[in-house]
Structure 1
Amino acid sequence: MQPDIEIYVLSCPTDNIVTWLSQKFTLLEQTHPSSLCTKVILELDGNTIPVTILEQASGKRFTSIWFDSSQTPWENDILCAKDAYSSLQCEVRCNYQGWEEEGDQDPDQWWKINNHGEGPFVWN
């Protein structure tokens, strides 16, 4: 199990992201620390899950969705990305290999899901 999950969505309004999260989790709290940042506290099976939604996280068009918890319903970033794509219908990217404390993973190796399909690619 990963200690956290992070995905990036392309040209997807934050309101749509919050709606998706509200369908999967109980939304306990929502704050806006800045014009580009929305923080939500979610609940699932008695676990609270803090999530940060940061617009323009990678260039102007990508929004980061970071689940700061190992208690999400997904085992890894790719499963979360697939779920997000099926609901949001916008391109989703995530780290291909997931998180490892040690390892020789390529930081530019990513997984992309869009209306053309899905698979690994280099994002640099």
Structure 2
Amino acid sequence: MQTDIEIYLLSCPTDKIISWLEGEFNVIEKKQPTAVCTKLTFEYQQADIKVTILEQAAGKRFTSVWFDSDKTPWEDDMACARQAFSSLNCEVRCNYQGWEEAGEQDPDQWWRINQQGEGPFIWT
């Protein structure tokens, strides 16, 4: 289980992302501290999961969705990315191997899911 989950969505409106999360979970708090940042808290199996949605996180077209918890329903970033793609039908990117403090993974190695399929690629 990862300590947190983060995915990047290409050209996906924040309202659509929020609707996806509201359809999957019981959202108990929603606030928008800035024009490009929305923070949610939802409940999952008696745990409060904090989510930050940040527009223009990787260039102008990508939105980051960061789940700050190890209690999410997904085993890793890739499982979350697959569900997001299935629900939102927009390109999703995530770290290929998950993040580890002492890991030796290539920071440019990513996983991409889109209408053409899914697989690893170098995001530079």
Q: What is the aligned residue count?
A: 124
The 5 Å alignment of 1:1-124 reads 1-124=1-124
Q: Deviations over 1:80-123 (max 9, x none)?
A: 00000000000000000002121210000000000000000000
How big is the shift at 1:23? 1.3
Which segment drifts farther, 21-30 or 107-116? 21-30
Letter in 2 for 1:118: E
Letter in 1 for 2:98: G
Q: Provide the rounded CA distance (Å) in 1 between the counterparts of 2:47 and 2:103.
A: 30
- TM normalised by structure 2 equals 0.99
Name the SS of the counterpart of 1:83 in structure 2.
Answer: helix
Q: Provide the rounded CA distance (Å) in 2 between the counterparts of 1:103 and 1:72.
A: 22
How big is the shift at 1:34? 0.2
Spell out structure 1 runs of 4+ moving beyond 2 A.
Answer: none
Identity percentage over the alignment?
65
Letter in 2 for 1:64: S
Q: Provide the rounded CA distance (Å) in 1 between the counterparts of 2:18 and 2:63.
A: 12
- TM normalised by structure 1 equals 0.99
Unaligned runs of 5+ in 2: none
